[in-house]
Structure 1
Amino acid sequence: MNQRASQAELLGASQARVAQVIDPVDWEHFCAEYWDRKPLYLADGSDRFASLADAATLRRLVESGTPWLYRRLPEMYIDSGFVPHEDLVHEYVDMDGRVARAPRLDRVRQLLLNGATANCFGQEAHFPELMALKLAFAQAFSAEVETSLFYSQKDHPGLAPHYDCGEIFVLQISGRKRWFVSDQRHVNPIVGYGGPVAYDDKAPHATIELEPGDLLYLPRGTFHHACALTEESLHTSVAIKMPSYLDLLQALAGNAADLDAMRDYLPLGGPAAWADARVELVERLRGATALPAYGAAVQRLLGRRIPAR
C-alpha cells in the first residue's frame, strides 16, 4: 500500500470514529450544516463515553498535584471566578539551580472541598481512550486538537460566560450539567488577535441539560457557561484548532523573500501610490504561492498540528 492510500485509509477511519461520536448526524451533514455555523445538541443518555475517564480518578490526580506536572497548567474556578495560578503554585530553585514549580496542595484540596471546578489538560497519559479520541479528531479535521477534563461540583458554576477560539465538542462522561448557550457569537476569533468582546446577558439563549453520553458542539465564538446539577460532573472538551487563512499568509511571508519580485521597491509616489499597488501585490503573491517552498511550508504548518500515531 502506497503512502497516499495509507493516509486516505487513516483519514477514513478517523472520520468514522468522529461519526460515531456525532451519531445519528452523519459526517457530511455535520460538515455542511453545523461546522463553524451553529451549535448541535445530541441527547443519548448512555455510558458510551464512560471509558474516556472517570471523576474519582481525576479528582485523585488533582488532589495529588499531578496535572501541574504538564506543560499547560490546570485551571481552577470557584463560583464563576478564576483562581489565579500564583495562588495554586509556588516557585523554587531546585538542586541544579533551575526555577521549578510545585502546586500548593493544601490550597488545591481546600478549593475542591469548597466546590471548585478543575479543568485539566494533558491527562491522556492516564486515560488511553481519551488519547485515542484526540488522535481521531486530529486526523479527521487535519487540525491541532486539545482535550481537557472538567471536574465540576453541584451548584457551583465554573467559568463565567465566555467564548472559545476553537471549535468545541463537549462529551458528557458522568453526572449532569446545565448549559446556557447564547445566540451571541463573536465572529472568527483567533487567540492573540483583536480585543475582548463583552457578554450580552440580554441576548437569547438555549438551556440544555447534558447527561452521560450526551454531546454538545459549540462553534468558535459562541458564548456559553454551565453549572453541575449532580454532586460530581465530568466532561471532556475536545477543542479543534483549525489552520486559518492567516496561517497561510504567515507561511507565505516566510518564503516570499525567495522571490525576486517580492523584493522589488514599491512605486514612487508615497502612500497613495503604495495603496494603488494592491493589484500588483496580489499578482506577486500568486507567484509566491507557486514556489515549491510555499507548498513545503503549508505541509509543515499542518504537520506540526497533527500528532503522529
Structure 2
Amino acid sequence: MSVGSLDLQDTAADHGRGVLESRLTRLGREEFARDVWARTPLLTRAASDFSDLFSPGAVDELIARRGLRTPFLRVAKNGTTLPEASFTSSGGVGATITDQLDDTALWRAFADGATLVLQALQRTWQPLTDFTSALSTDLGHPVQANAYVTPPQNRGFDAHYDVHDVFVLQIAGTKRWVIHAPVHPDPLRDQPWTDHRAAVAEAAKGEPVIDTLLEPGDVLYLPRGWLHAAEAQGEVSVHLTLGVHNWTRHALAEQLVQSALALLRDDPAMRASLPLGVDAPDDDLAFVRERLAAALTASDPVPRFHRARRAQGRPEPMGPLAQLAALEGVTADTPVRLREALAARLEGSRLSTRVGWLDLAEAEAEQVRRLLDGGEHTTGDLGQDLVVRLLRAGVVVPATG
C-alpha cells in the first residue's frame, strides 16, 4: 500500500481552499477523497506553521491557569492511564470542586515520564474551536482535538489503533512514529483495539509501513484501524491529534432501522402479543421479517441522520451580552449573518439547526433560504421581525464585516 510524501511548497491559505488543503495535506478535497480518505496513511512534510493553533505556552496556560477539570485531561505512563485522583485536587476558596487539575501533581508526573493528554481542546482553546469547525466542514464528519505532551525518550501508549481517523500535527519537538497495517480494518466505535490485543501486539513486531520522525509543521493522516506507536526523542514533544469521528454505512443502517421501527409502532399487528406458551416463534418471526422488510423499504432515514449529525457538533461560540446588544440595537439596516457551524437545513417551512427549530411563514422561508446561501444580510433584506426572531433564537449573529 502506497504512502504519500509531498515536497515542500508554499502553504499559505488561499481564498476558496479549505483547511484540509491549505493547512494539512496540500491536496484538494476531491483528490484527498479519491486517493487517501479511509484508505491509506499520508505523510505531509512542512505542511504548515501551526503556532497560531497551539504551542507549549498554551499547554502551560491550560494546565496552570484555566481551572480545567477532568475529563479535559488524562495522564498516561508506560501504556497505562493514571487514576484521576493522582493529579486532581480542590481549587481552593470559592472553587472547592475536587476534580480540578493540580499543576504541582501534574508537574511531578510529567517529570517522572508521564504523558499529559489535553482532551476536547475544541471546547477549551479558541483557535482549535475555529479550526476543527472548519475541518469538519471540509470533511463532513465531526472533529475533535487532543494534545499529547510527552517528555524526552518516553511514550504514552504502546502500539494500538484508534476507532476514528486522525490527523497528527507536530507542534514542538520531534516524535518517532511507527505505523503498521490494520489487523481489524475500519473498526466501529464499539470495536476498540483491546478486542484484538494479541493480534495488535503480534503485528507490531513486523515490518512497519511507516517509521519516521515528525518535526514541527509535519502532518500525518491515519485512517482508523491503522496501528501506531509514538515516542518522543531528545526533547519534549507536543503534538495535536485531530480525531475525525467517521459516519459509517453501519451508522446509516442504524438510522434506517430506527426509522423502520418507528413506522412499525403504528402497525397494530406488530404491537400484538405473541401467543401464550410460545417456544419457537417461527411463524411470528416470518411475519415480522416481512413487515420489517416492508418498513425498511418505506422508511426515510435522512431526517434522523441529520438530527444525529447535528447532535454531534457545536455551533460557533456566541456571547450572550453581544447577542443581547445586537437584539436591542436592531435597526432597518442592521447587518447579520448565519451563525457558523449551525448545520442549518430548511425542511419545507421548518428551519432545523443545532440550536433548535423554527417554523416559518412561506415568505419567511424564502428569506431564510437566501440567508443559508451565506454572506451578510441586513434587516432590509430579511425583514426586521424575522431578524429579531433569528437573533433571539441564536440562529444569526451580528456581522462585523
Structure 2 distance, partners of 1:262, 1:148, is 49
Give the corresponding residue for 1:204.
207
In the alignment, the residues of structure 1 paired with residue 67 and residue 23 of structure 2 have an alpha-carbon distance, to the nearest angstrom, of: 26
Output the amino acid matched with 1:119.
V
Give, in whole Å, the separation in 2 of the partners of 1:68 and 1:193: 30
Distance 1:18 1:134, change over 3 A: same
Shift of 1:162: 1.2
Q: How far off is 1:165 after superposition? A: 0.8
The 1:280/1:187 distance shift into structure 2, 3 A limit, reads farther
Q: Distance in 2 between matches of 1:211 and 1:233?
A: 9
- Cα distance in 2 between the residues matched to 1:99 and 1:175: 34
Match of 1:242 in 2: 246
Q: For residues 163 and 271 of structure 1, what CA distance do their matches in structure 2 show?
A: 41
1:66 CA displacement: 3.9
The offset of 1:305, in angstroms, is: 2.2
2:184 & 2:144 partners in 1: Cα distance?
21
**Residue 254 of structure 1: how far off its partner (Å):** 4.2
Change in CA separation of 1:127 and 1:284 when aligned onto 2, cut-off 3 Å: closer
Q: Which structure has the bigger radius of gyration?
A: 2
Match in the other structure for 1:31: 33
Q: Distance in 2 between matches of 1:274 and 1:86?
A: 53
Match of 1:304 in 2: 311
Q: 1:238 & 1:87 partners in 2: Cα distance?
A: 27
Q: Secondary structure at the match of 1:237?
A: strand
In structure 2, the residue matched to 1:87 is 86
Return the alpha-carbon distance in structure 2 between the equivalents of residues 262 and 19 of structure 1: 54
What's 2:320 paired with?
none
Distance 1:14 1:172, change over 3 A: farther
TM-score by length of 1: 0.80
User: After the TM superposition, which of the residue ranges 194-203 and 47-56 deviates more from structure 2?
Assistant: 194-203
In the alignment, what sits opposite 1:251? 255
What is the distance in 1 between the residues matched to 2:17 and 2:273?
47
Task: Tell me the matched-pair count.
Answer: 289
**How far apart in 2 are the matches of 1:52 and 1:298?**
31
- Asked if the contact 2:43–2:221 (Cα under 8 Å) also holds between the matched residues in 1, the reply is yes
> Structure 2: any 5+ residue segments left out of the alignment?
1-14, 316-339, 341-401
After TM superposition, the structure 1 = structure 2 runs for residues 28-177 of structure 1, keeping only pairs within 5 Å, are: 28-44=30-46, 48-62=49-63, 64=64, 66=66, 68-69=68-69, 72-90=71-89, 100-124=98-122, 127-177=125-175
Q: What is the TM-score of this pair, normalised by structure 2?
A: 0.63
1:67 touches 1:120 (CA, 8 Å); kept in 2?
no
User: How far off is 1:147 after superposition?
Assistant: 0.4
Secondary structure, in 3 states, of the residue corresponding to 1:123?
A: coil
Distance (whole Å) between structure 2 residues aligned to residue 168 and residue 14 of structure 1: 24
Which whole-Å deviations, capped at 9, do the CAs of 1:28-56 have from their partners, x for residues lacking one? 12111211111111112x76212111113
Match of 2:227 in 1: 223
Distance in 1 between the 2:16 and 2:150 partners? 30
Q: Provide the C-alpha distance between the structure 1 equivalents of 2:282 and 2:238, rounded to a whole number of angstroms.
A: 58
What one-letter code is carried by the residue in structure 1 that aligns with 2:54?
A
Deviation by residue 1:86-132 (Cα, 9 ceiling, x = unmatched): 3223589x999x97523344321101222321110233466433222
Does the CA contact (< 8 Å) of 2:24 and 2:48 recur in 1? no
Once the 2 structures are TM-superposed, how far is the Cα of residue 279 of structure 1 from its aligned partner? 6.0
- Are the aligned partners of 2:88 and 2:98 in contact in 1 as well (CA < 8 Å)? no
- Kept in 2: contact 1:176–1:211 (CA 8 A): yes
Higher relative contact order (CA 8 A, sep 6+): 1
TM-align CA RMSD: 3.3
SS in 1 for 2:158: coil
| Partner Cα separation in structure 1 for residue 118 and residue 217 of structure 2 | 20
Amino acid at match of 2:262: A
- CA distance 1:65–1:114, shift in 2 (3 Å): farther
Question: Secondary structure of 1:69's partner?
Answer: coil
Structure 1 gap segments, 5+ residues each: 1-12
Q: Is the 8 A contact 1:139 1:306 kept in 2?
A: no
Matches of 1:271 and 1:166 in 2, distance apart?
40
